[in-house]
Structure 1
Amino acid sequence: MGTLEEGRPVRMGLIGLGSMGRHHARVIREVEGMELVAVADPVGDRHRVAGGLAVLPDVDALIGAGIDAAMVAVPTYLHEEVALALAAAGVHAMVEKPIAATAESGQRVADAFRSAGLVGAVGYVERCNPALLQMRRRIEAGELGVVYQITTSRQGPFPARIADVGVVKDLATHDIDLTSWIARSPYEVVAGQVTHRSGREHEDMVVATGRLANGIIVSHTVNWLSPLKVRQTVATGEKGAFVANTLTGDLTFVANGDVTTEWDQVSAFRGVSEGDSVRYAIARREPLRVEQENFRDALWGRPSDAVSMAEGVHTLRVVEAILTSASTGQTVHL
């Protein structure tokens, strides 16, 4: 089917009007070249985002509204069912992360869109965070030299929204995707530890470590039981470290210093000395808006940074490997 005619407004449908869907509804209406023409949610419109649109009951009714593309923001366990219906009807789609409940399920979704010749994307909004976009560009430009390590910390209180998955598939999936994207390399080896502290069926804390195919070592600390809200990604290399705070959109570079110290004890203790720090002035655009613009560009056949469904499947394979490692005590090779 290919892409849509460039410049022609994209007739967008949205299914799922919950905690993420309400934001997508607003952003789709704001993006030039997109028109929200239909919305669907079997449980109604509790956030009142439909405006003048009828709230349709299901994906079939959404397809019947004559849409070009859809944003899928239903609970994770429904992603495959909804996405496959869209693919069968020839409707392009972006599915909220993760692509599906399991990697096997996600692979079926990716295969369906590929074989139908449709644009299929996954909503990993952290890739659109201004601090991470800057970090990736600067690493690519050689400003860190050889990258040694990428670490992430994503911690905070329990989310008000109801989660049908544990913290690994809900939150750590962001860190796995963004780390692979920043490093431009897939994961090769992972190990994980999880805990269940909130009395829920699913894990609520994880610490995972791993190595990417290009040799960069990684670690992720993720939970939703912390009173401190932390969203930090640190890339360390031969020339220093980039520290991205994705809550504020700030990026700081701390250079390896070239000032030698004559105080031997401090020199031995500190190792590489700390050089100058720079916090970059960054234009802060709303990440969700950038994400929808990327999807629009992909639909129009323009160069686009939309996250492919194949990348979404790889991230889920890593997620499942972390959970396997946590349950077996073994390091998992992908």
Structure 2
Amino acid sequence: MKIIQIGTGGWGKNHTRILSQLGVLVAVCDADAQKSKEYGEKYSVNHYDSLDELLDVEEFDGAFVVTPTSTHTEIAKKLLGAKKHVFVEKPMTYKSEEGQDLAKLAEKNKVILTCGYIERFNPAVDLVKKMVKDKKYGDLVMLEFHRENRMPLHIKDVGIIYDTSVHDIDTANWLFDDMPQVVFARAGKIKHEHEDFASIMLGYKNDKVAIISSNWITPKKIRKFNAVCTDAIISSDFITQEITIEKDEESEIITNEKQEPLLLEIQNFLGAVKGKNEQVVKSQEAVNVTKIAEAALLSSQKGIPIYLDLK
């Protein structure tokens, strides 16, 4: 299998490392010619600063798009038009209509289009998903997510909702196996050009709810979530991948073998390209996350709940 990567900045360097380790990386492309050359030489692959030139020269099966959000649509459209399988880092697009167009193009050309919602591949989330599905601790009623950290320096074109909260929006949809009917949010900015703190409430059917709290203000890195079930509270840490079950007076800690979620996510995409029945994030699910992020920003601006009808 032959895979190319567009974008080698901030988060992209991790994709390059893993794709090279897996022996599938054949070329990198970055608008910064110096950076492209650096990574091409580091991993002994061809390097380009023009996607059009790469498309003319290279034979490949799939592509990873790890560039600023504002560039995703144009790049993904070219790749899908060339009938290549495409993995786009989250969020898939800044505007949901553009994501919808990409999803239609992928369907028309019979290729995979997926998006990097990495927490689905976090072993802790995977285990909680199994517990919820099996109703091991009764019905899932409420989810609470808490992410805080200093702002990543490479993020310049979006605020915290599009960069950070989207992870938890997707994870909530995944764990509830449903889409929210209503969004209410408050967000603001203290130190940055875009919003740098946000609290989002997603209302699902049967009064189920997800509460997502994100900020780029506090110095400590926190990535935690709670799944409140009718018979227990399941608490987990996205970083340590440890899970705590609290039931009545009892408390139990489950430690998984720690694994790198990005490696699992990339292996999942490669398996899907090979035709294996992998559970990739569907393009429509990624479009819906963008719609929910749009609704959260609108809710915060207007101070009202936004009702949704997502398929």
Count matched residues: 304
SS for the counterpart of 2:226 is: strand
Q: Is the counterpart of residue 74 in structure 1 residue 63 in structure 2?
A: no
Matching residue's letter, 2:13: R
Counterpart in the other structure of 2:197: 205
- CA deviation string 1:59-79 (max 9, x = no partner): 222323111100000110000
SS for the counterpart of 1:94 is: strand
Matching residue's letter, 1:68: D
Q: Is the counterpart of residue 216 in structure 1 residue 208 in structure 2?
A: yes
SS for the counterpart of 2:2 is: strand
Residues in 1 aligned to 2:293 and 2:134: alpha-carbon distance in whole angstroms:
30
Residue 254 of structure 1 and its aligned partner are, at CA, apart by 0.8
Residues in 2 aligned to 1:59 and 1:213: alpha-carbon distance in whole angstroms:
44
Which of 22, 29, 33 pairs up with 2:20?
29
Q: Which runs of 4+ in 1 moved over 6 A?
A: none
Matches within 5 A, 1:1-334: 10-31=1-22, 35-44=24-33, 46=35, 48-50=38-40, 51-64=43-56, 65-198=58-191, 200-213=192-205, 215-255=207-247, 257=248, 275-334=249-308
SS for the counterpart of 1:280 is: strand
- CA deviation string 1:153-181 (max 9, x = no partner): 01111212232101000000001001110
My pick for the range that moved more, 39-48 or 18-27, is 39-48
Residues in 1 aligned to 2:176 and 2:29: alpha-carbon distance in whole angstroms:
37
- CA deviation string 1:14-47 (max 9, x = no partner): 000101211101111223xx51111100113549
Contact 1:163 1:170 in 2 (8 A): no
Contact 2:62 2:84 in 1 (8 A): yes
Higher helix share: 2
SS for the counterpart of 2:255 is: coil
Contact 1:244 1:252 in 2 (8 A): yes
Residues in 2 aligned to 1:95 and 1:325: alpha-carbon distance in whole angstroms:
27
Residues in 1 aligned to 2:202 and 2:295: alpha-carbon distance in whole angstroms:
11
SS for the counterpart of 1:169 is: helix
Residues in 1 aligned to 2:66 and 2:45: alpha-carbon distance in whole angstroms:
17
Residues in 1 aligned to 2:34 and 2:141: alpha-carbon distance in whole angstroms:
47
Contact 1:241 1:254 in 2 (8 A): yes
Between the aligned residues of both structures, percent identity stands at 28
SS for the counterpart of 1:187 is: coil
SS for the counterpart of 2:181 is: strand
My pick for the range that moved more, 322-331 or 204-213, is 204-213
Residues in 1 aligned to 2:270 and 2:26: alpha-carbon distance in whole angstroms:
15
Please, what TM-score do these two structures have when normalized by structure 2?
Answer: 0.94
SS for the counterpart of 1:239 is: coil
Contact 1:193 1:207 in 2 (8 A): yes
Residue 214 of structure 1 and its aligned partner are, at CA, apart by 5.2
Q: What root-mean-square deviation, in Å, do the aligned CA atoms of Structure 1 and Structure 2 show?
A: 1.4
Please, what TM-score do these two structures have when normalized by structure 1?
Answer: 0.88
Could you tell me which runs of 5 or more consecutive residues in structure 2 were left unpaired when the two chains were aligned.
none
SS for the counterpart of 2:14 is: helix
Residue 147 of structure 1 and its aligned partner are, at CA, apart by 1.2
